Amino acid sequence: MELSILRELVRQACPDWLQGELTDEPKAFLQNLIDRVLPGALGVCIEHIDAEQILGSVPYRRESANVAGLMHGATIFALGDTLAGALLWATSDGTYYGVSANCSITYLRPVSGGTLHCRVYETRRTESRVHMVALFTSDGGKRVARLRMEYAIVRLARAQPKSVSERE
């Protein structure tokens, strides 16, 4: 995870309003980006990230519950999708980022309090697709859900050198 690569990805792929103050450490850099968009409003938190996996969590909040008082499935999904995206950005060589293409989630049990924990890792990669899995557990370690994700690789256009006439 090179911070210079992350900064360049943000410069090339993100809107101007996301370009503000950024930190000097990759995990904190990614958390800062997350905090500025919807997952930040949900309380998504990166706890650990390395080249193989990312671990994170989201607290139960009434504001992100469903009408039965349980953690909304969209909150669970957003946690896994956000962490997967962060892992893709963190492991990029700077020539691409990933966007959700296909996802399938299986909910195993409801969450009515505490913190939901998530582990995301890559299972397969081709030139144009990355497949990942997110495993969700409750504070007590019980399995809550499993999310299978497929991301499309978006290649960044490289700036072409200016011709002699354009430089003058």
- One-letter amino acid of 4: S
Length of the chain as a residue count: 168
Q: Which CATH number fits domain 3-158: 3.10.129.10, 3.40.640.10, 3.20.20.70, 2.40.70.10?
A: 3.10.129.10
pLDDT band at 159 (very low <50, low <70, confident <90, very high): very low
Taking 80 as the threshold, does the pLDDT of residue 60 lie above it?
yes
- The domain ranges of the chain are 3-158
The Cα–Cα gap between 83 and 90 comes to: 10
Please tell me the predicted confidence (pLDDT) of residue 21: 64
The Cα–Cα gap between 105 and 155 comes to: 27
Please tell me the predicted confidence (pLDDT) of residue 129: 97
The Cα–Cα gap between 39 and 37 comes to: 6
The arithmetic mean of pLDDT across residues 37-57, rounded, is: 96
Please tell me the predicted confidence (pLDDT) of residue 160: 43
Please tell me the predicted confidence (pLDDT) of residue 161: 43
Q: Lowest-confidence range among 6-20, 68-82, 148-162?
A: 148-162
Please tell me the predicted confidence (pLDDT) of residue 158: 64
The arithmetic mean of pLDDT across residues 96-106, rounded, is: 94
pTM for the whole structure: 0.89
| Percentage above 70 pLDDT, the chain | 91
The arithmetic mean of pLDDT across residues 101-113, rounded, is: 97
Please tell me the predicted confidence (pLDDT) of residue 57: 98
Please tell me the predicted confidence (pLDDT) of residue 22: 65
Sole residue written with tokens 């953690």 = 71
